[in-house]
Amino acid sequence: MRRKDVGLTNTKENRIVKTAPLADGEYWALCRERNVIAAAANGHSLVFPKARMTVRDGWAFFYREGIEIWSCNASYAEAQFDVHKV
């Protein structure tokens, strides 16, 4: 008799984990890339090495010295940067 759970179907490694979206507020966003070249390759050079981030209505706005430098979806920001509440 063949088992139905053979493979990765029911293993921990194959589960999709959903987290709550980033709450509106102020954060620090730190690039995960180790240098500006890697950050540029991923389109994150404006944020490298870190920038202030404001999350509002599902969007993340990145600032340096009070000037908006970039924006993206808050879920993308949470997945691509190390995010820390201010």
Q: Determine the Cα–Cα distance for residues 77 and 32; give it in Å rounded to an integer.
A: 11
Give, in order, the Cα–Cα distances in Å from 18 to each of 7, 26, 71, 74, 79.
Answer: 22, 22, 23, 14, 12
pLDDT (tens digit per residue) in 44-86 = 999 999 999 999 999 999 999 999 999 999 999 999 999 999 9
pLDDT (tens digit per residue) in 2-18 = 555 555 555 666 677 77
Give the gyration radius of the chain's Cα atoms.
Answer: 17
Confidence (pTM): 0.77
**Cβ count near 58 (within 10 Å):** 11
Q: Looking at domain 19-85, which CATH architecture does it have?
A: Roll (2.30)
